[in-house]
A and B are shown apart, each in its own frame.
Chain A
Amino acid sequence: MLIMTSETSHEEQLQLQKEQQHPVIADLCLHLSSKSSISTPSTALPPHPPSTDKLPSSSSSSSKKSKRSSIPLPVAAIRVLLNVIRRSKAETMMGLQADLREASDVMVNFAKLGGPIPAVLINNDNNTANNTKQQQRYLLAGRSHIALSSGCELFLKYVTRASLETPDFTSCKSQVLERGERFAEFSLAARDRISSVGGPFVREGSVVLTHGRSRVVESLLLRAALVEKKRFRVMVLEGRPDAAGAKSARTYEKNGIPTTVVLDSAMGYVMERVDMVIVGAEGVVENGGVVNKVGTFSLGVMAKELGVPFYVAAESYKFTRLYPLNNSDLPEMGGIGESLQFLDTLNWSASGSRKNDDGDEKKEESTPTSSLQDVKDYVVNLPSTVEVQNPPCDFTPAKYITLLFTDLGVLTPSAVSDELIRLYQ
């Protein structure tokens, strides 16, 4: 029996059930929850202390709450596809491509339906099958399927190109495997390259505003602070509903960068004091725009209006052949109907029910029930006739973006299409 949320339909539930038992999905989640096991960065990239190499990677402490790994979803997907190639019984390249296409469709569909399960609905029983499924959905939480599908598309293009160059099947298969491994490595090393090209843009004494929790942006700012030894402040938007900004604020503060957290709605208020805005991306679309956590579009418009440069840090495998005309033209995203919890935190903290310490996690876990009791009084319950829309992502058109930091270098938005034409030729 699956967890029934009020939003997902019965058909979707069945679909989800069928897919979660697919070996591809199991493989995917395995890759996502494992520790990042990447070879050392190539000598081309400048070396830096291992503390900034990878962000706090996951450690599966409990089966229910394994943290999200630092492996990007598309890279895990590519590893899965490599396994598909190894396992495939196809005798021809066409058969192999068909297998790969099927596996990637399964993964993309799964990612489309995925989304965070509200905490109050997590089942507490010990049914391991349920736990696995919860875990799987949790691992996929908040990630967009755009990067996943674009990464898979690119990998499939690589495979096709290899098959055209090498007609013989077995040698082609091994070449594809080797190329695939290199692709995965290259994608993981992309983050380091982006940090090195984007780091110089952070100037000494500046104030950097960021939104959402992007590992690329985090590694870029950490590199600027720790390796290039620059002093700057970071301002973070809180990031409702998943508190993404608040979480990344912890990371910055731990590494010694002075951080300020503000409400999402305060982005206009603080923009006058900000020297640059940098965000990550779920996907970079053909016209040079980006799809990112909801709020990025507003940030972009605000930054343009007030003359603040707006930078996007994204790996090249996120380039996708989508062409949204405006925000209404985005493809269907999972989680758009997910409910929001409306909490009056102002009065809740004013009532003194919760002591705000240094926000250490152990303390949160030790007293879950008492905090929940206190909070319940301040939760605003809406009647079911009120429609709640919670789009996870929005689209920022190219004219609001100053530059893109990618592993291919620093690009202008119009160069994205050039790269795409070359990649998908």
Chain B
Amino acid sequence: MGAEEVAAAAAAEPAKKEKKKPTNIVIPPKKPKLSKAERRALQEAQRAAKAEGGGSKPKPKKGGGDNGAASNKGAASNNKASGVDDKRSTAEGAADGEGQENNSGSSATDNKKDDKTVSLFSHLPQPKHPTDQHLSSISSTIDNNLHPAVPTLGHLYQTHSLLGGNARCRAMLQTFALLLQSYTPPPDTRDFRVDVDHSLLKPAFQYWTTQCRPHSVSMGNAFSFLKLAVANLERDLEWNEAREILLESLEAYVTERVQYAGKAISRHAGSKIQDKGDVILVFGRSEVINRLLLDAALTDGKTFRVIVVDSRPLLEGRDTLEILSRAGIQCTYVLLNALSYLMMREVTKVFLGASALMSNGSVLSRVGTACVALLANSNHIPVLVGCETYKICNRVQLESITGNELGDAEEVAFTDCARVGPSNRWGEEKKKDGSVLSDWKSQPNLKLLNLMYDLTPSSAVTGIVTEVGILPPSSVAVLLREMNPDSAFKGTD
């Protein structure tokens, strides 16, 4: 995107901004709420200004010179928009200053570096990096609206310590429960529902999504459920009663739609596992798939082999391997490049997990899943995807580009597979010696891309195992309709 286009876009945006002043809700009047498009425009404008101005405050950002600075500035303005106190942004300002002092030597070279963003994925937000700013901000948020549990969880999200749709959603709901328990409505509000939503739930969710890591579909659906539960509370309830109701519904959501759903999925898929002779291939780590394999082996007593396929940089398959082999299941572990060898020879079934199900039946899952599914398909091996219904998304996605998440490109460069877990990386110094790509940033014409998700087309999936049974991918839309009968289009009859 040239600087001219950005300036033109930025010029067009302020007109939009004025229209968007909210009228009915009472909010901190000084700073108008910016929508995501407007924040992006602000970010682009600032980036353009910086590119022309010559880089005054480069941040030590690993994703690439100018971009990092611009997006952090954008992040600072985002904070302002979400109504966080000035104190916090001054803390960041101080950190900014420190960063500047530390890197004043390299500031000149930073500006001259090429833009390391891949243009095809420029519509996706750049990954955030945990720096000291977040750890220090935990103490500063005690005085602000954000409960300290929020940045704590945010830190887990950001460092990829907490991976997986179910785990992230559960943690989010637990944090919300904590927030609700420690919350008291301000004395002068008549309707606490608005206040709960506005000052408790929304800031936390926005913080996680914009500051830490874009939310998964599971988290999004659970958050919508919570907002709906708050909106459905009766107007004249006492806060204590209301809180009890909300906590109960949170509990029920997790129990029914995650836990019991997982058990039902185990049952349905378990009937498809044949005793003595099945060789099942799994990819990465999926809570649902691990559960169903353990149930088949331990509860039903079936004998089968499992092949665990893993891929860099997250190497989640190692957890799967540990869980399954501890239970006594005979396992084989390979990396993704060995897939075609195994597929043709031994595999009888493939079980995959999912992060989300699109309404056209395509499956959004960890990057590499599409590979596995398509290869299985071409070898006429049935592919079963295990997914709870709460992960069904009302979106139609046709390929992996429009809706995805960027991971840290540095993880692609850092090829040491011996590290124990992703979060260890942030604690220690980066081992620059020995890695072939350790100076990739200074290579012209070299960009590294690390995607988190990919889309498996519905034609590659034999069956989707949900808590209501095994369904063909074309029936996901039917499930969506059955789950939301009010919003369904009924047709002319």
Contact = CB atoms under 8 A, between A and B. Distances in A.
Nearest to A289: B472
Interface size class of A (residues with CB under 8 A): 10 to 19
B75 interface: no
Nearest to A412: B474
B94 to A, nearest CB: 58
B482 interface: yes
Interface string A306-333: 0000000000000001010110010000
Contacts of B471: 286, 417, 421
B478 A417 contact: yes
A323 B478 contact: no
B490 to A, nearest CB: 14
A287 interface: yes
A414 B463 contact: no
Contacts of A286: 469-472
A417 B272 contact: no
A287 B463 CA distance: 8
Contacts of B382: 325-326, 329
Contacts of A421: 468, 471, 475, 478-479, 482
Nearest to B474: A414
A77 interface: no
Given A421-B482, A425-B482, A325 B462 contact: yes
A287 B472 CA distance: 5
B169 interface: no
Contacts, number: 41
Contact of B475 (A321, A414, A425): A414
B274 to A, nearest CB: 8
Interface string A383-409: 000000000000000100000000000
Contacts of B380: 326
Nearest to A425: B482
Contacts of B463: 287, 323, 325
B479 A288 contact: no
Contacts of A417: 471-472, 474-475, 478
Given A286-B470, A421-B482, A425-B482, A325 B475 contact: no
Contacts of B482: 421, 425
Given A287-B463, A425-B482, A329 B472 contact: no
A421 B478 CA distance: 8
Nearest to A415: B474
A325 B384 CA distance: 9
What class of interface size applies to chain B in its complex with A? Answer: 10 to 19
A323 B474 contact: no
Contacts of B478: 417-418, 421
Contacts of A414: 472, 474-475
Interface string B369-383: 000000000001010
Contacts of B272: 323, 325, 329
Contacts of B129: none
A398 B349 contact: no
Nearest to B482: A421
B5 to A, nearest CB: 44
Interface in B438-472: 462-463, 468-472
Contacts of B349: 325
Interface in A347-384: none
A326 B349 CA distance: 10
Interface in B477-493: 478-479, 482
Contacts of B479: 421
Contacts of B474: 414, 417
A422 to B, nearest CB: 8
Contacts of B472: 286-288, 398, 414, 417
A425 B469 CA distance: 11
Nearest to A416: B472
Nearest to A287: B472
Contacts of B475: 414, 417-418, 421
Interface in A180-230: none
Nearest to B277: A328
A147 B272 CA distance: 21
Interface in B360-392: 380, 382, 384
B472 to A, nearest CB: 4
Nearest to A288: B472
A321 B471 CA distance: 9
A266 B330 CA distance: 46
Nearest to A424: B469
Which of B272, B463, B469, B475: most chain A Cβ within 10 A? B475
Interface in B312-331: none
A321 B472 CA distance: 12
Contacts of A425: 482
Nearest to B380: A326
Contacts of A418: 475, 478
A418 B476 CA distance: 10
A324 to B, nearest CB: 9
Contacts of A288: 472
B336 to A, nearest CB: 24
Contacts of A326: 380, 382
A425 B483 CA distance: 12
Nearest to B463: A323
Nearest to B383: A325
B384 to A, nearest CB: 7
Contacts of A398: 472
Contacts of B384: 325
Contacts of A287: 462-463, 472
Contacts of A329: 272, 382
A321 B382 CA distance: 18
A288 B468 CA distance: 17
A418 B480 CA distance: 12
A296 to B, nearest CB: 18
Contacts of B468: 421
The 5 lowest CB-CB distance pairs between A and B, nearest first, are A414-B474, A325-B382, A323-B470, A417-B475, A287-B472
Given A288-B472, A325-B382, A418-B475, 16 more contacts: A286-B469, A286-B470, A287-B462, A287-B472, A323-B272, A323-B469, A323-B470, A325-B272, A325-B384, A325-B462, A326-B382, A414-B472, A417-B472, A417-B475, A417-B478, A418-B478
Interface of B: 272, 349, 380, 382, 384, 462-463, 468-472, 474-475, 478-479, 482
Interface of A: 286-288, 321, 323, 325-326, 329, 398, 414, 417-418, 421, 425
9 contacts: A325-B272, A325-B384, A325-B463, A329-B272, A329-B382, A398-B472, A417-B471, A418-B475, A421-B482
